[in-house]
Each structure stands twice: as structure tokens, then as C-alpha cells.
Amino acid sequence: VVAFFEEGIDPTSATGTANEIGSGDVRFAPVATIAPGSTATFKIKAMPKQAGNLAFRAEAVCEADGSKQAQQC
């Protein structure tokens, strides 16, 4: 899972799996498996540098089959 932040908002902390917080992104370590019906939860706290509408995009990639899911808000 990788999260991307628009200019003007910086990630400050993250939980879920081991992670690396960069300038404008958070990269989580891969999850080995997720059983059917189970969930994996990733949380990120971020601080805006300015008021206004700021975008956030999350991407999840399945390395086994190469599929990707993304959501932007």
C-alpha cells in the first residue's frame, strides 16, 4: 500500500505494517496474506500547511497477479 499526498499536506505518522514516511508519501511494507473475509487496516495522520481542498491518493497492489486498486479523495 502506498499513499500519496498533494503539495500542501504532509504525512506525520502511520500505522498498519512497517512503513516509511517520505516527503508527500507513505509506503507500507507488504502484507504476506489476507484471508478471505479478513481485513487489513492502515492509518495515516497528516498535517495541512494551508487551508483549502487537498488531494490524497491510496494505491494497493497485489504482487501475485499484478492487479492494482486506487482511490483518490
Tell me the pLDDT tens digit for each residue of 20-32: 999 999 999 999 9
pLDDT, position 63: 86
Tell me the pLDDT tens digit for each residue of 30-70: 999 999 999 999 999 999 998 889 899 999 999 889 899 99
pTM, two decimals, is 0.87
pLDDT, position 64: 86
CA atoms within 13 A on the CB side of 29: 6
CA–CA gap between residue 71 and residue 1 (Å, rounded): 11
